[in-house]
Structure 1
Amino acid sequence: MSAPSASSPALPRIDEELVRTLPKAEVHVHLEGGIALADLLHLAKENGETLPGPAATLFDVSTHHEFAMPEETTGGGAGVGTGGLSGFLRFLDWQCGLVRTPEQAARIAYVFAARQSVSGTRYTDVIINPTHWSRWRGRETALLDAVSSGFEEAEQDGLCSVNIAWSLLRTQSADEAREIVEHLVDHRPSRVVALSVDGDEKVAGRTGPKFTEAFRLAKAAGLRRTVHAGESSGPEGVWDALDLLHAERIDHGVRAIEDPRLVERLAADGIPLGICPRSNLTLGVYSGWDTHPIQALLDAGVKVTLNTDDPEPLGTTLVHDWAAAAQAYGWGAEDMVGFAARSIDASFADDDLKASLHGELDSTAAALR
C-alpha cells in the first residue's frame, strides 16, 4: 500500500468516529502510561498515599512534582520530576508503586483493555517494564500473572485482546537482562510474547551491546523483539537495535530520518516503526506536526504505524491522534485504512487473528468507498 500524501482522497472526512470504525492494532503503548487519572486517585486512596501534587495536574508532564521515593524502590531513579523524558519516567515509578495487590493489577489491566476497545482497537502489544512496579520487586512473575488475569477476563468479555512485551530498562546490566530472558524462557508467563527495552537513551548512553546476549536468547526461544530507539538520541540506537538486538520492530525510530542510509535499510527490510507523534511533540523531540518526520518516513517507503505511547498522562486516545494526524497531513480514508492494515501486520498477534482482522478491515474499507 502506498504511503499517504497530501493529494490522497479526503472523503469521507477523517474524524474520530471514522477512525473508531476501523479494526486495528496498537503496537507501541505502555501499561504504565495507560492508568487513568481516576484509577490512580482510587489507588492512592486505597493505599493511604499522599499525592505528590494537586490531583488536577498530576498528568501535567511539565509540572515539577516531587516523587519522594527511596532509591532502592525505583526503576528509573529517585528524586524530583524535572520535566522531559527522565522526569516522566520518575512519575511512572511513583504511580506504578501504588499497584500493590493482584486484584489491583488485574483491575488496571481490565480497564486498559476496555479503553483500547473504545478506540476500535482489536489487538494490542502492551509494553510492561517491571522495574517501574516497585512493590513487585522479586515477584515480577506474580505481577504478570495478575495482569494477565485481567487481560484474560477482558478478552472473555469481548474486549480487546492484549499480549505483553516484557521491557528491560536501559540501566539494567547485561547479567540482569540475561537472567530475565532465561526466566521468561523457563517459565513462559501467560501472554508474554516479546522482549523489549526502553528508558531514556540520552541519559543511559549506548546500551545495545550489553543486551546482545539477552536478545539472542530471546530470538532463539521464539520471543518476538521490539526496541525503543531513535527518540531521545539519534540514529545510532536504531542501527544497534537492528544489527545487535535483531529487532523486528522499532518503537519510535523517528530520528532514523537523520540517516538516509538507515531509512533505506528500514524500508528495504520492512521493519515497522511504532511512531507516537503526540508523545514526540509533548516531550519535545519535535516542535510541531510540521517538523515531525512521519510523512518523510512514509514517503521513503518505511512501514509506519500510529500509536499513543502513554495515552493517559498525555491526555489522548488512539482515535484522537489518528484524526489529528490526518488533519495535519491531509490524509484521507484510504490512508487511514493503510495505517490500520500496517498496524495489524506490525503486531505480534498470531496468524489466525491477523487474518481475521484483515478480513474485518477489508469489509469495513469496502463500506467506506
Structure 2
Amino acid sequence: MSADSTGLTTVPAIRALPKAEVHVHLEGAIELADLLEAAREARVRLPGPAATLFDVASHDDPPHPSPLSAFLRFLDWEGALFSSAEQLERLAYRFAARQSASGIVYADVIVNPAHWPSWRSDPAALFDALGAGFDAAAADGLCRVRTCASILRTWDAATAEDLVSAVVARRPRALVGVSVDGDERVSGRTGGRFRGAFQAAGRAGLRRTAHAGESSGPEGVRDAIDLLGAERIDHGVRAVEDPRLVDRLADEQIAVGVCPTSNLALGLFRRLEDHPVDALARAGVRVTVNTDDPAALGTRLEAEWALCAAAFGWDDARILRLARDSHLASFATDDERASALARLQEREEAAA
C-alpha cells in the first residue's frame, strides 16, 4: 500500500482507524473547560489567565528547576480541584468521549494519586470513582478505558508498597496495572526502590509499565525491565543509544509508548525529524505513538500519528502496523484485543 492509494496518513483517515492509546495521563488530559468548571465549584482562583493556563512556566512561582518539575506542580494544583466521586465520574466519562472522538477504542490511562490530595488517604476510592465513569462510558459505546495506578518517582519504597496494597485489597473497577512516573532527572535511578511494589503487583495479577528512558538514558530502561518486570516502557526513546538494548526490546517484544510532541516540548530533541521513533520501529521494536498529556500539549492522537507520517515518510502499511501494535501493546483483554484487530483487518481489506 502507499499513501497515494488509500490516504491512511491523513488526520481524517487516521482518526477513522480503530486504535489503542497506551501512554496518556488523566491529569494531563483534563481540558480547560473542565478545569474552569472545577475551579468555580471549588471556589479556587486560577494560577494565571485562563487563556494561558497550560503555559505552566508563565505562572510558576517560585520557578522550578526543570519544565517537567513545574508541570508536575501544576498537576497538583488541578488535582486538588476534584473532591467528590461525582466529579471524578464526570471527568472519566468526558475523557472516554474525547478518546472516542479520536477513533480510540481502548486506552490504558495513567493516574497518579499523588496529584489528587483529596484521595491520597484512600487511593482505591479514587480509582473506583474513575472506574464508574469509564464503565458508564463503555456502556454507552464509547472507548473502553482502564487505569494504571502510578507510583511517584520521589516516593519511598513503603509509600509505593502501600499504594499497591491498597488497590490490590480493594481491586477498584477498571484498574488493570501499575506504573511509575515523575522526573527521572531529579530522582535518579529508582528501580531498586520500587522492586517490591512491582513484584507485589505482579503477584496480584496487575500489569506493569514504567516511565524510563526519557530524561534517563538506556540504564533507566534496563532497570524497568530487570528490576520492575515492566511489560511495556513509557517513553523509552533513549534506548536507541544502546543497540544491544534495542535488540532486546525487539526480540522480547517489549513495547515502547513514545510521545513525540511531549519529548519535543521538554527539549529532548530539537526537531521531530531528530526523534528516534522511526529508528526504533525500523529496528523491529514494537513502537506505539501516544499523546502523554494531550490537553496541556494541545495535541490529539491522530495529529501525533500524522506528524510522524509526514516527518518520516510513513506509508499506509506503516500506519496500519502502528494501529496493530497499539492494540498488541495494550493491557486490553484477549477478547477486546481480538475484536479490535478484527475491525482493523476489515478496514485494511476495505482500503485494499
Give the alignment partner of residue 299 of structure 1, picking from 282, 286, 292: 282
Per the alignment, residue 353 of structure 1 pairs with 336
The correspondence for 1:31, drawn from 22, 26, 30, is 26
Task: Check the 8 A contact 1:304/1:342 in 2, yes or no.
Answer: yes
Match of 2:76 among 70, 77, 93: 93
- Partners of 1:219 and 1:145 lie apart in 2 by 20
SS of match in other structure, 1:52:
coil
Query: CA contact under 8 A between 1:84 and 1:284: conserved in structure 2?
Result: no
Q: Which has the higher contact order (CA 8 A, sep 6+)?
A: 1
Whole-Å Cα distance in 1 between the matches of residues 178 and 36 of structure 2? 31
The size of the alignment, in residue pairs, is: 350
Report deviation, 1:232: 1.0
In structure 1, which of residues 257, 282, 299 is the aligned counterpart of residue 240 of structure 2? 257
1-structure distance, mates of 2:266, 2:201:
31
Matching residue of 2:307:
324
Counterparts of 1:182 and 1:55, CA distance in 2? 39
2:59 to 65, 75, 87: 65
Once the two structures are superposed, residues 197-256 of structure 1 have per-residue CA deviations (whole angstroms, 9 ceiling, x without a partner) of 000001001100011111111111111000000001111110000100000000000000
Q: Is the 8 A contact 1:64 1:81 kept in 2?
A: no
**Cα deviation code 1:274-333 (max 9, x no counterpart):** 000010011111111111011111111111001000000100000111111111111111
Contact 2:124 2:171 in 1 (8 A): no
Corresponding residue for 1:176? 159
CA contact (8 A) 1:27 1:125 kept: yes
Structure 1 residue 158: deviation in Å?
0.8
Q: 1:80 to 1:45 in 2, by over 3 A?
A: farther
Q: CA deviation at 1:83?
A: 5.5
Q: Which amino acid aligns with 1:48?
A: R
The aligned counterpart of 2:3 is 10
- Cα shift readout 1:50-82 (whole Å, capped 9, x = no counterpart): 111111001124x33136xxxxxxxxxxx5456
**TM-score, normalised by the number of residues in structure 2:** 0.97
Q: Is the 8 A contact 1:274 1:306 kept in 2?
A: yes
Aligned to 1:72: none
Match of 1:20 in 2: 15
Q: What is the SS of the residue equivalent to 1:361?
A: helix
Determine if contact 1:141/1:189 at 8 Å carries over to the other structure. yes
Letter of the 2:275 counterpart: H
Moved segments of 4+, more than 4 Å: 79-83
| 1:136-215 equivalences in 2 (<5 Å) | 136-215=119-198
Residue type of the alignment partner of 1:362: Q
SS at match of 1:110: helix
TM-score by length of structure 1 reads: 0.92
Structure 2 unpaired stretches of 5+:
none
Q: Do the aligned partners of 1:238 and 1:250 also contact (CA within 8 Å) in 2? A: yes
**Structure 2: distance between partners of 1:262 and 1:207:** 19
List per-residue Cα deviations over 1:173-202 (Å, max 9, x = no partner).
111112222222222111111010000001
Structure 1 Cα separation of the partners of residues 262 and 248 of structure 2 = 25
1:49 aligns with 2:32: no
Give yes or no for contact 1:10–1:330 (8 Å, CA) kept in 2: no
Q: Secondary structure at the match of 1:246?
A: coil
**Structure 2 counterpart of 1:267, which letter?**
A
1:75 equivalent in structure 2: none
Who is 1:288 aligned against? 271
Corresponding position: 1:279 with 2:262: yes
Q: Residue 103 of structure 1 aligns with which residue?
A: 86
Residue type at the aligned position of 1:304: V
User: C-alpha displacement at 1:352, in angstroms?
Assistant: 0.4
1:103 deviation in Å?
Answer: 1.1
| Pairing 1:96-135 to 2, within 5 Å after superposition | 96-135=79-118
Deviation, structure 1 residue 163: 0.5
CA RMSD of aligned residues (A): 1.3
Identical counterparts, % of pairs: 55
Q: Which residue identity lines up with residue 9 of structure 1 in the other structure?
A: S
* Aligned 8 A contact 1:81 1:88 in 2: no
